[in-house]
């Protein structure tokens, strides 16, 4: 059994000929939790789409690099191939999924439909109950009879997760699963993810803009900026001693890190926009440490001795680096 569930290596994606992702590299061990962090336009949702084979629907395609899932390359999969992967190997909880349930079908009907499609050999009704138990919904029999509008936001999100689990995937992809939820509900949902990890043994790729969420649930983290991964490593390491200026700036921008009435660290300028990438390092126009080469040469991901990697020409210290993935 391969202990590496997912590896993305130097992934490049174009939409209608416009480069939107480049040099995206990350990996996720079996049963691991990876946090994919970035701000608006950083490319984290597009990375998800690439992972689900959903790029052709938005006129996009993979132009470089590879996606390997459990030792098998997904990069050259055709549509029927993707259909076998989606839901069965990789479950997906899409962004803004609070309104993604069919309003005229009961929760039970939707679950049974998903189960009979993805897992036809089991009793759909029993499996539906089991799925709702997995996401810790109380009074499951009651919930099965309900329509989506009769449920709270947190309950609907649990149902969405249950739907994503119907095909017993080995990797669950969740795109901003708690963004629209209240903090107390968010906490409960994050606990569900933590439970699922132990109860099903699957891996979790959690896309979020919230570094706090990553710190709480992820063991590894990939930080994205300008359509590329700029830093990758153990969550605890990255959060405590960020090695990329962007990660450091993001952490410093959180109000929780400052005393009251003390100014927050800000990042000057505006985020890089797909199709208008600056030359050299994508972050260089906003970076306080940018040197001459930063504006001309795009840095590649380099792995340091402690297993962390980053794409930076050397802040704070350019020593002790060796090329990653050799």
Partner 1 sequence: MSDVLLDVVDAEFRYARGMAPAASGINLQVRPGDAVGIVGESGSGKTTIGRGLVGSLLPSAGSVLVQGRRWKSVSRRDPVRRTVQMVFQDPYASLNPMLSALATVAEVFRVWDKVSADVATSRAEQVLAEVGLSGEVIRRRPALLSGGQRQRVGIARALACSPQVLVADEPTSALDVSVQANVLNLLLDLKASRGLALVLISHDLSVVDYLTDRALVMLNGEVVEQGETQTLLKNPGHEYTKTLIGSIPGTSLTTAS
Partner 2 sequence: MTATTQTPSTTPRRSPHWLRLPHWKFAQRRPRGALALGLALLAVIVLATIFVPMLSPYTATAIAGKPLMAPSWLHWFGTDTAGRDVFVRTWVGGRNDLLMVVLVVLGSSIIGTLVGVVASMSSPLTDSILMRFTDALISFPGMIIVMAIALVFSGVGEIGPFPRGALPAVIAIIAINWASYTRLVRGEALSLRSRDFITAATLLGYSKSRIIARHLLPNLATTVGAYMVVDAIVAVVTIAGMPFIGAGIQPPAPEWGSLMLAGSTVLYSAWWVTVMPGLVVTVYGIALSLIADSLLAEIDGGAR
> Which residues ranging from 170 to 229 are in contact with partner 2 (CB under 8 A)?
179-180
Smallest distance from the beta carbon of 57 to partner 2, in angstroms?
Answer: 15
> What is the spatial distance between Cα 152 and Cα 137, in angstroms, rounded to a whole number?
12
Q: How far is the CB of 268 from partner 1 (least distance, A)?
A: 9
Helix (H, G, I), strand (E, B) or coil at 232: strand
Least distance to partner 1, CB of residue 224, Å: 12
Phi first, then psi: give them for residue 35, nearest 5 degrees.
Answer: -95, 125
- Closest approach, Cβ 36 to partner 2, in A, equals 16
* Residue 274 makes contact with partner 2 by CB under 8 A: yes
Choose the one of partner 2, partner 1, none that binds residue 96, judging by a C-beta under 5 to 8 angstroms depending on kind. Answer: partner 2
DSSP H or E run through 131: helix 124-134
Q: Is 270 in the site for partner 2 (CB under 8 A)?
A: yes
Q: How far is CA 282 from CA 110, 263, 313, 316, in A?
A: 43, 26, 12, 18
Minimum CB distance to partner 2 smaller for 35 or for 274: 274
Count Cβ neighbours within 10 Å for each residue of 146-178 and write b for 16 or more, e otherwise: bebeebeebbbbbbbbbbbbbbbbbbbbbbbbb
For residues 84 and 79, give the distance between their C-alpha atoms in angstroms, rounded to a whole number: 9
- Between 7 and 156, CB nearer to partner 2: 156
> From the list 1, 3, 40, 149, which residue makes contact with partner 2 (rule: CB under 8 A)?
40
Interface with partner 2 (CB under 8 A), residue from 16, 72, 126, 273: 273
Which one of 19, 271, 285, 314 is in contact with partner 2 (CB under 8 A)? 271
Nearest to 90 by CA among 190, 6, 207: 6
Q: Segment near partner 1 (CB under 8 A), from 203-211, 277-285, 289-297, 308-316?
A: 203-211
The answer to whether residue 213 forms part of the interface with partner 1 (CB under 8 A) is yes
Site string for partner 1, 159-198 (x = CB under 8 A): -----------------------xxxxxx--x--------
The verdict on 296 binding partner 1 (CB under 8 A) reads: no
Q: Which secondary structure element, helix H or strand E, spans residue 85, and what is its range?
A: helix 79-85
Contact criterion met (CB below 8 Å) for 6 and 202: no
Distances (CA, A) of 45 to 23, 138, 177, 200: 15, 31, 12, 25
Contact positions vs partner 1 (CB under 8 A): 39-40, 153, 182-187, 190, 209-216, 239-240, 249-258, 260-261, 263-267, 270-271
């Amino acid at each position: 059994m391969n202990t590496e569930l997912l590896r993305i290596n130097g992934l490049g994606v174009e939409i209608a000929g416009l480069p939107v992702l480049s040099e995206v590299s990350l990996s996720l061990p079996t049963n691991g939790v990876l946090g994919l962090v970035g701000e608006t336009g950083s490319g984290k949702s597009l990375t998800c789409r690439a992972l689900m084979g959903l790029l052709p629907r938005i006129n996009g395609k993979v132009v470089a690099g590879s996606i390997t899932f459990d030792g098998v390359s997904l990069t050259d999969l055709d549509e029927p191939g993707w259909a076998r992967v989606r839901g069965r190997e990789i479950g997906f909880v899409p962004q803004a999924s609070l309104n993604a349930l069919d309003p005229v079908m009961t929760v039970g009907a939707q679950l049974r439909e998903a189960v009979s499609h993805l897992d036809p050999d089991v009793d759909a009704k029993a499996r539906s109950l089991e799925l709702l138990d997995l996401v810790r919904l109380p009074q499951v029999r009651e919930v099965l009879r309900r329509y989506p509008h009769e449920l709270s936001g947190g309950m609907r999100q649990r149902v969405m997760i249950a739907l994503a689990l119907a095909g017993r995937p080995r990797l669950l992809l969740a795109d901003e699963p708690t963004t629209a939820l209240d903090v107390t509900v968010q906490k409960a949902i994050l606990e569900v993810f933590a439970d699922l990890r132990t109860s099903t043994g699957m891996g979790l790729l959690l896309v979020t803009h919230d570094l706090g969420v990553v710190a709480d649930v992820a063991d590894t983290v990939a930080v994205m900026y300008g359509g590329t991964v700029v830093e990758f490593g153990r969550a605890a390491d990255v959060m405590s001693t960020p090695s990329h200026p962007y990660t450091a700036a993001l952490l410093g921008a959180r109000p929780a890190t400052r005393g009251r009435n003390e100014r927050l660290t800000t990042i000057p300028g505006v985020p890089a926009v797909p199709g208008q990438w600056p030359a050299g390092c994508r972050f260089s126009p906003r970076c306080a440490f940018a040197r001459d080469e930063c504006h001309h040469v795009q840095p590649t991901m380099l792995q340091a001795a402690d297993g962390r990697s980053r794409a930076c020409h050397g802040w704070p210290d350019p020593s002790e680096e060796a090329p990653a993935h050799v």
